[in-house]
Amino acid sequence: MTQLKNALFLAAQFLLPHHLVSRLAGLLADSTLSAVRKPLISLFAKHFNISLAEAQIEDPDDFGSFNDFFTRALKPEARPVDSAADTWVSPVDGEVSQFGPIENDRVIQAKKHNFSLTTLFGGDKEMARRYDGGSFMTLYLSPSDYHRIHMPKAAKLVKTTFVPGRLYSVNQLTAENVSGLFAKNERLVCEFESASGNFTMVLVGAMIVASIETTWAGVVAPVQKRIVQTDFTSIKPVAFEKGEEMGRFRLGSTVILTFQSNQVNFEKNIALNSKIKMGEAIGQNCNKK
């Protein structure tokens, strides 16, 4: 039965009109009608066993829409941020689906699957070369996770690249069966400059993800489905402190972090499929000579 269910789910990934389904889901998620938002929130919270004890709004009836509930803010004390100067922290609540070295422009997706860093970055070969020989970490956000995205390090924004694409689901099943998944899905590549060097955060869209938002530009939804690159070095700086919110997913997805060579040593307790909370240390600065 499980095999049949998985086969049907995978078949749907190739047959369904990804963007249409996701946009329709987005309309429902944005609805402020009581007859829509209340049942959606109630069913979702019950199905995924979601507690609002950590949320700033604890009464589900006080959310204006399902998306307001899904992207709910937490109480400040709910996610303490590791303040040590040399640590890098998790930008999200999620699961460590993969991590390791970036070798010859290849990044591991899942067992037997990898993808091109250049393709992930929208074909930007120069940018990909800066991170070749470095390391990466892929963090999967399940529907039950907190869905705001924060900074792993104090940094300023260098540039963003919106890359149009498909909207496959990004759960473990599709990661293990859809080749080049993350380099095929719609995504926003954000490059930052920190005191410890440049790094990127790639916000990957997925099936039923109504949209990706950033704190500096709002909803990322280019009308033209083409690669759009924005250089922030020549305009008003966009700077963040470690742990500060930089964006959010309106329904679940994935964040891929990439680091340069000899930049980060991952924490010894980091393991595949381990759960992690926003603000917890994921690594430390390398001792560069």
pLDDT digits (tens, 9 = 90+) for 150-205: 999 999 999 999 998 776 665 565 555 566 667 778 889 999 999 999 999 999 88
SS3 content of the chain, % helix, strand, coil (to 5): 25, 35, 45
Most confident of 34-43, 94-103, 208-217, 232-241: 94-103
Amino acid identity of 67?
N
Q: pLDDT by residue (tens digit) across 253-274?
A: 889 999 999 999 999 999 999 9
- Band of the pLDDT at 289, cuts 50, 70, 90? very low
Q: Per-residue b/e over 184-222, b at no fewer than 16 CB within 10 Å?
A: bbbbbbbbbbbebbbbbbbbbbbbbbbbbbbeeeeebee
What's the rounded Cα separation, in Å, for the pair 209 and 151?
21
Catalytic residues: 93, 150, 253
> Average pLDDT, whole number, for the chain?
84
- The reported pLDDT for the residue numbered 44 is 87
Among candidate residues 73, 244, 64, the one with its CA nearest the CA of residue 151:
244
55 and 72 in contact (C-beta within 8 Å)?
yes
pTM score of the predicted model: 0.88
Residue tagged 């990898």 (tokens): 114
Give domain limits for the chain.
Answer: 2-70, 81-285
